[in-house]
Amino acid sequence: MTEGKVGVWDVPVRLFHWSLLGLFCFSWWSGENHEMDWHRQSGLLVLALLLFRLFWGLAGSRTARFAQFLRGPGDVIAYARKAGDEHPTDGHNPLGGWSVAALLLVLLTLVGAGLFAVDVDGLESGPLADYISFDAGRQASEIHEIAFKAALALIGLHVCAIGYYQFLVGRDLVSPMITGKRELAPGESAEGVRWSPLRAAIGLAVIAALVWAVSKGFHFSSAGEV
C-alpha cells in the first residue's frame, strides 16, 4: 500500500460503477437510435449490475454496505452543515449515501419498467411484456421514459457534487473510484477495505442465472424467435 493512502472502494464496487456508466450511455444511445436488440441486451446487463450492487450492499466490503452508508436524518443534516470541512469520509458520506440509494432506486425503476415496456407499434418490447396487456405495456414505456429523465437529473447532481468537492473543497473523488485508494487525513488511521471474491462469484452466478431467465421471459421453450 502506498504511504498515506488507504483502500476505500473494493474492486466490485469500482467495476460496478464504471460498467454502469458505460452501459447507461450505451443504453441511451441504442434507445435513441432504435437499436432495440442492443438496447435490450444492454438493459439486461444493467439489471444484472443493479442486482449485484444490491447483493453487494449486504455482502460486500464495509464501504459497499447499505448498513454503513445509509444514515439517519440527524447525521445527514449534521454532515450537510459542514460538508466541506470534514476530513474525507470512509466511503460514502451521509448525504452521498442517500444519493446512491436514490440512483439505485431510479435505475431499478428504469430497468424494471423497461422489462415490461411495449412500443406503440407492438413490435418491440421488453422480455416480460407478454405478461401484461398492450395498454399496461404502454404505461410501462411512460414510466421508463420518466425514470430515464429522473436518472439523468440524479446523474447531473452526482457530477455536480463531485465537481463541488473537486474544485471548491479540493478533494479528489474520481481517482479513488479508479484506483480504489484515497488519501488519509493527517493523523487518521483506517484499515483498507476487504472483500471476498468467493462471495462475489456466488452472487454473480445466481444473478446471471436469474437475468438469463428474465431475458427468456421465463419461457424456456418458445414457439419461435421474434
Partner 1 sequence: MMRSAVLALVLAATGASLAVAASPADTIAARQANFKKMGGAMKVIKDELAGGADKAKMVGAAKTIAAVARAQGPLFPKGTGPGAGVKTDALPAIWTDRATFDGHAKKLIAEADKLVAVAGSGNAAAVAAQFKAVGGTCGGCHKAFRADD
User: Which positions lie near partner 1, rule CB under 8 A?
Assistant: 118-123, 125, 129-130, 133-135, 137, 217, 219, 222-226
Name the amino acid, one letter, at 89. Answer: T
Decide whether 123 or 198 has the Cβ nearer to partner 1.
123
The DSSP string of 139-160 is HHHHHHHHHHHHHHHHHHHHHH
Kindly state the smallest distance separating residue 36's Cβ from partner 1, in Å. Answer: 10
Decide whether 76 or 217 has the Cβ nearer to partner 1.
217
* Secondary structure of residue 55 in the 3-state scheme: helix
End-to-end CA distance of the chain: 53
Decide whether 75 or 119 has the Cβ nearer to partner 1.
119
Per the CB < 8 A criterion, the answer to whether 19 and 49 are in contact is yes
Kindly state the smallest distance separating residue 128's Cβ from partner 1, in Å. Answer: 10
Kindly state the smallest distance separating residue 129's Cβ from partner 1, in Å. Answer: 7
Kindly state the smallest distance separating residue 27's Cβ from partner 1, in Å. Answer: 17
The three state secondary structure string of 133-144 is: CHHHHHHHHHHH
Cα dihedral sign for 12, 15, 17, 20? negative
Per the CB < 8 A criterion, the answer to whether 154 and 99 are in contact is yes
Helix (H) or strand (E) holding 16: helix 11-32
Decide whether 12 or 126 has the Cβ nearer to partner 1.
126
What are the residues whose beta carbons fall under 8 Å from the beta carbon of 30, sequence distance 6 or more? 36, 38, 39, 42
Decide whether 189 or 222 has the Cβ nearer to partner 1.
222
Report how far residue 10's alpha carbon sits from residue 201's, in angstroms, rounded to the nearest whole number. Answer: 14
Kindly state the smallest distance separating residue 18's Cβ from partner 1, in Å. Answer: 31
Kindly state the smallest distance separating residue 116's Cβ from partner 1, in Å. Answer: 12
Decide whether 75 or 145 has the Cβ nearer to partner 1.
145
